[in-house]
Structure 1
């Protein structure tokens, strides 16, 4: 696979046309979305989807999200669509919300990872929409990183992971949201939030007019033998090469802990403006009171820790509500659930 030449093109008319041609030929293309960059292939072509797993080194028991450009594509991916799905689509599409429903017969088995459900969303990024239209089919598109490493929010990071693995990456600038989409399942008696994101549990409940259950796997490890019903539910994910530990507590307790455990190779993943008060090298991932900024900067901060050679990282703990829940969920997996309460 590594003798493949990877092109990095601007996401202009020519680049989008080239992407559409490659996708129609069963190839994989790196594309920007409003959340993170994705590795796209036709959701209806099992052989093309297998190339996504090969490029990422991703286990095939991890389901993929299909991306559509308008509602006319919805029934290519899912069936038995309830009114609640249209309520959510009307409120949040195009945007960073994924809905899980019973799968259609047309979506490739490889997309669904052996499940009888499928995941679908309509991205708001104009380049993602244009590429889907150019391909003419729903596109399966997990994050465009090597499996387990931090998701990419700029094209350069996609190239770093995917050079020689895919034929084309479209550069559409920096992703606006910075963490993957919210995933809600409408299969079952009560809606269930499987992966938190920019669209919050509270927003979902307001639109649906009912309580949305929080899946146990949002904050805890999957149980032995339990299948991942959504992307992002695996034990260790989004992780830099360093060993990350989340420290829960106020800043004073955090600083004291870091001082007691500081040695060469220790870095802090902290909130903005705290770095000058800490005894070791720091990478900031946003202000303590700005969860949207934290979401936007988290993955680039994790990659920066690798670039600076961090071996051990002590991370400041975000809140666990609203958008902050998405940030905490990603950090938990980056830390392989290592959390110290101070």
Structure 2
């Protein structure tokens, strides 16, 4: 298998937890190094790879074929643009960029250079969401009437990561946790006709948004997306009601927690939720009322990287496209406008550019 030589643009939590273990696991990738500014940590885990002193050193390395932009959101546009201009394929973490204009410029540049540009929406590969999508795809709830997705935490303290608590174009929960559930909603339901949003600051001494409530308007149903840092008793993360029945599922994916403990991912026997987190399906099937606990499908971020490999080496579609990233940024920008002006925002077009 021809390998893709890959460089990370940082080796903090995301590089160590979400990327390096799967690059190591997948036979189609070779981790060649990471840009490290002050702390030099990657060689503790991967003694044979490079610790690049600068971004320029990464981009000038002819071995590097794929660059993973896993730095703070406000840097995504600058670094992704530089990598594309250097002729590298690029994977960008969420939020894709800070503005729609930036997202569209990256898309156009990747098209011009004939390079792959993808967004790391790994939560599509979570066990809980995979199960929700499976139920949705089976069309056993009838016509959708409403859905509600939550990504909540109980964390009233400010983050020790300074860049998360300084008001910038990339800070705040709307651009941190928001892209996950916005992307998931559109992956299931498509792009909405309009939206209404309320965005707040609720933590003491916080200067960045830490609460949002967004309603996406579709022709025949509504989808509500919520996030808060003051949810000590979790609500179901996924609730879908249709004309025949309902499906309710808690957030239960175990991958992040297991990776943080140092567990190595596997292709199989990985990402299995405990049985007590099964979702509840209450619907009508072939005229009979059914209420049952549904086994959760396993989650595995390995398959994101496998899909990315197929895109780069086999010319298939990337797992989460720049076009998807642009649509998510349109929702975010519209939500900010809606909350500021206290009005419904109507979308005129869903064209990429």
TM-score scaled by length of structure 1: 0.24
Structure with bigger strand share is: 2
TM-score (norm 2): 0.24
Highest Rg: 1 or 2?
2
